[in-house]
A and B are shown apart, each in its own frame.
Chain A
Amino acid sequence: MKELIKVNNVSFQYPSEENLTLAGLSLSVYKGEWLAVVGHNGSGKSTLAKLLNGLLLPGSGEVKVEDYTTANEEELWEIRRRVGIVFQNPDNQFVGTSVRDDVAFGLENFGVPREEMIKRIETSIARVNMQDFIESEPHHLSGGQKQRVAIAGIIAQKPSIIILDEATSMLDPMGRKEVIDTVKQLNEEEGITVISITHDLEEAVRADRVIVMKQGAILTAGSPREVFQNEALLLDAGLDLPFSLKLGVALRDYGVSLKEQHLTQEELVDALWTLKSAD
């Protein structure tokens, strides 16, 4: 698999903080994968996101995106075009006075010619299914719709990576689903790499790869199956367990001898049924 992002032994400290927010972190992100980053508040997740497109620069170490490095100011713009971030608060990243203007904002910044801009805006707005709202003003849109517009603004720039920085945490369940479904489609159909920083473990369960962060370092990484196998480690990182794991634990407490962890309800039901049939 092609390596898109390489984070090499990066440390970072905010001037106002006593401790390192990130301490010697290394990480590779591969083309086309959906990478979930979990960890409780203050574990350094969001700082990591900002380092990946040069909004923050590492104190030591290096962040490389494709062949560019964030250390070189000339290359920052190339990196920012390739790595789009959807932030947490839907209102505070909507720059334009209408959906169309907001999607245009990034393209204008990168000097895309007007004719080309119009084409890209149309397609990217349609891509996130917001074509009926193209003239709408932000305060008439729901949180989920605003986040989809933010995604349209990013894909209009033809990026290779979308970072969701807790992008669904302020949304209602419907908005959350809209956003995740939209990004999932982009990931599957256009091979856009997704890095999702999230509290939502049900979402992390569906990722290709999960990273658990604690105190500015990676506690563990691997497939969801590998990572969520280790309950103790998750609890140590201050995380809750996904529903099926929690139920599995409770079932074992009641004497049902399940051998391993099951990530989804379907798997758990099947395992229980197999167990019962063998009874």
Chain B
Amino acid sequence: MLDNVIIGQYIPGTSVLHKMDPRAKLLGIFVFIFVVFLANNWLTYGILGVFAVAAVLLSQVSLRYMYKGLKPIFFIVIFTFILHILMTKQGEVVYDLGWFKIYDGGLRQGAFISLRLVYLVLVTSLLTLTTTPIDITDGLEYLLGPFKKVKLPVHEFALMMSISLRFIPTLLQETEKIMKAQMARGAEFTAGPVKERIKAFVPLLVPLFISSFKRAEDLALAMEARGYRGGEGRTRLRVLHWRFRDTGALFLLLILAAVLFMLRTHG
């Protein structure tokens, strides 16, 4: 059941997106988040959709895999959609049940917000699918570099992140293992009323918490044994290369932003 989570999973590949500088991708996503909020009519959402699909195709990640990975968020998307239908009372009534009316404004609003969610998840998961976590971290460390001057612990933050990312698969494996062990003892994680279900997670979370503590302790010791003493005086193996295509990609995004700004409904 944990196999389906794709956020944080990296899929090796050689696509253009894989080859881009992580800094460009991070900046790109940053820009994209703003761009998504520019869209406010069918045309602009349509353009964003074309853009998002194009990005997925460029990444060469199989569509079936993307679809499977998105499935867990469908619940949230549908929930958001229904919520908007219930709450929004604008425009014409398209459906009348007597006690309850559906307005076209609600339908549109629901569709827009749902699309926005899908686009955001799609594009951000493309970042992790095509960029190794360590590249993301490197990118962040570089981008945040200037903040070192104001004593922001950028190196420590980056290291913390890379270690967390390194341990995500390990912890997922561990979660699955403990889950199975408790299921073998008759525990159920998916049935019953909410209160019961929350209680059901105690046998999973306590062992997970304990083992994570143990891991952290071991890891700190191993790092010290290997001569770690903070960022000072450290050299780095990994260097990033900013290429023409990175500038190009960001430029494209800015054009997209400009186009969306012009085509959005003003007022």
> Residues on A close to B: CB < 8 A?
50, 53, 55, 77, 80-81, 84-85, 87, 89, 91-98, 100-101, 104-114, 117-118, 121, 135, 137-139, 153-154, 157
Which 9 pairs across A and B sit closest by C-beta, in order of nearness? A92-B218, A93-B222, A104-B237, A109-B227, A139-B169, A106-B226, A97-B134, A97-B166, A80-B227
What separation, in Å, do the CA atoms of A87 and B228 have in the docked complex? 16
Contact, CB under 8 Å: A107 / B237: yes
Which of B162, B170, B236 is in CB contact (< 8 Å) with A138?
Answer: B170
Contact, CB under 8 Å: A114 / B227: no
Residue B185 at the chain A interface, CB threshold 8 Å: no
What separation, in Å, do the CA atoms of A117 and B233 have in the docked complex? 15
By a CB distance below 8 angstroms, the chain B residues around A84 are 225-226
What separation, in Å, do the CA atoms of A154 and B225 have in the docked complex? 10
Known interface pairs A93-B222, A106-B226. Does A139 touch B134 (Cβ–Cβ under 8 Å)? no
As a 0/1 sequence over residues 187 to 218 of chain B, the CB contacts with chain A under 8 angstroms (1 = contact) are 00000000000000000000000000011001
- Secondary structure call for the B interface: helix
By a CB distance below 8 angstroms, the chain A residues around B166 are 94-97, 138
Residue B132 at the chain A interface, CB threshold 8 Å: yes
What separation, in Å, do the CA atoms of A110 and B236 have in the docked complex? 10
Which of A77, A94, A114 is in CB contact (< 8 Å) with B229?
Answer: A77
By a CB distance below 8 angstroms, the chain A residues around B133 are 97
By a CB distance below 8 angstroms, the chain B residues around A112 are 235
Distance in Å from the Cβ of A113 to the closest Cβ of chain B? Answer: 6
Contact, CB under 8 Å: A114 / B236: yes
Contact, CB under 8 Å: B221 / A114: no
Known interface pairs A89-B218, A138-B166, A138-B170. Does A80 touch B235 (Cβ–Cβ under 8 Å)? no
Residue B173 at the chain A interface, CB threshold 8 Å: yes
Contact, CB under 8 Å: B225 / A53: yes
Contact, CB under 8 Å: A121 / B222: no
By a CB distance below 8 angstroms, the chain A residues around B132 are 97-98
Distance in Å from the Cβ of A199 to the closest Cβ of chain B? Answer: 19
What separation, in Å, do the CA atoms of A45 and B236 have in the docked complex? 35
By a CB distance below 8 angstroms, the chain A residues around B221 are 50, 55, 87
Chain B: CB-nearest residue to A165 = B225
Residue B97 at the chain A interface, CB threshold 8 Å: no
As a 0/1 sequence over residues 164 to 192 of chain B, the CB contacts with chain A under 8 angstroms (1 = contact) are 01100110010000000000000000000
Contact, CB under 8 Å: B238 / A95: no
Known interface pairs A94-B166, A97-B162. Does A113 touch B235 (Cβ–Cβ under 8 Å)? yes
What separation, in Å, do the CA atoms of A87 and B221 have in the docked complex? 9
Given pairs A55-B221, A87-B225, A109-B234, 11 additional interface contacts (CB within 8 A): A77-B229, A84-B225, A92-B215, A95-B219, A95-B222, A105-B223, A105-B228, A108-B237, A110-B227, A139-B173, A157-B227
By a CB distance below 8 angstroms, the chain A residues around B225 are 53, 55, 80, 84-85, 87
Residue B224 at the chain A interface, CB threshold 8 Å: yes
Distance in Å from the Cβ of B160 to the closest Cβ of chain A? Answer: 12
Known interface pairs A93-B219, A95-B163. Does A101 touch B227 (Cβ–Cβ under 8 Å)? no
Residue B150 at the chain A interface, CB threshold 8 Å: no
Contact, CB under 8 Å: B235 / A111: yes
Within 8 A of A (CB), among B6-30: 10, 12
What separation, in Å, do the CA atoms of A111 and B235 have in the docked complex? 5
Contact, CB under 8 Å: B224 / A55: yes
Contact, CB under 8 Å: A81 / B227: yes
Known interface pairs A89-B218, A93-B219. Does A109 touch B229 (Cβ–Cβ under 8 Å)? yes
Contact, CB under 8 Å: B237 / A92: no
Contact, CB under 8 Å: B237 / A100: yes
What separation, in Å, do the CA atoms of A137 and B170 have in the docked complex? 11
By a CB distance below 8 angstroms, the chain A residues around B233 are 111
By a CB distance below 8 angstroms, the chain A residues around B235 are 107-108, 111-114, 117
Contact, CB under 8 Å: A118 / B237: yes
What separation, in Å, do the CA atoms of A92 and B229 have in the docked complex? 18
What separation, in Å, do the CA atoms of A112 and B234 have in the docked complex? 8
What separation, in Å, do the CA atoms of A108 and B184 have in the docked complex? 45
Which of B218, B229, B236 is in CB contact (< 8 Å) with A87?
Answer: B218
Distance in Å from the Cβ of A121 to the closest Cβ of chain B? Answer: 7
Chain B: CB-nearest residue to A106 = B226
